[in-house]
Structure 1
Amino acid sequence: MRTTVDINDELFRAAKAYAAQHNLTMRQLLEQALRDALDDTRTSRSRATPPPLPSFAGNGARHGIDLTDNAALLDAMDAQS
C-alpha cells in the first residue's frame, strides 16, 4: 500500500543514513520499525504484572516472642486463642 507520511527532516536524514549503512531501502526500514513496534506492544501486553502481595496492619511481633522459634510461636498462638 502506498501512503504519505510527514517526518521531521532531521529524523528522516538519520533514518536515510541508517538505511544506507545497513543496505536497506527506506521502505524496508520503515516496515521493520513498524513490525518491531507492534511486536513490542503485543509482547508487553502478554507479560502481565502480577498483583501486589497483600499486606496486613498490625503492631508487629509481640515483645518476647522469637520469630525464628517455631515452638515459641505455637505456644504464643495457643495462649492467644
Structure 2
Amino acid sequence: MRTTISIDDHLLDQVRRRAAELGRTVSQVIEDSVRRELVRREDDEEPPFRVRPFRGGKARPGVDLDDNAALLATMDDDR
C-alpha cells in the first residue's frame, strides 16, 4: 500500500544509508523499523510486576531481625 509521510531530512538520510548498507529499499527499512517498534510497545504494555506485602504478622519471639547471623541460624534450625 502506498502512503505519504513527513519525515525529518536527517532521519531520511540515515534510513537511506542503512538501506544501502543492507541492500534493501528505503520502504523495507522503514517498514521493519515500524514493525519492531510496535512489537516493542506491545512488550512494554505488560503490567508491571508487583510485590505483595506479607501479612503474616511479626517475627517469632526471640528472633532479632537486626542480627543477620542470628536470623540465619534460626532459619537453619527450622530445617
Quote the Cα distance in structure 2 between the aligned partners of 1:48 and 1:55: 21
Decide which structure has the larger Cα Rg and report it. 1
User: Where do 5+ consecutive residues of structure 1 fail to align?
Assistant: 71-81
Tell me the matched-pair count: 66
TM-score calculated relative to the size of structure 2: 0.64
The answer for the alignment partner of 1:33 in structure 2 is 33
Deviation at 1:42, TM superposition (A): 1.4
Say which SS state the counterpart of residue 43 (structure 2) adopts: helix
- Could you list the runs of 5+ residues in structure 2 that have no partner in the other structure? 65-70
- TM-score, normalised by the number of residues in structure 1: 0.62
Percent of paired sites with the same residue: 25
Q: Which amino acid aligns with 2:34?
A: L
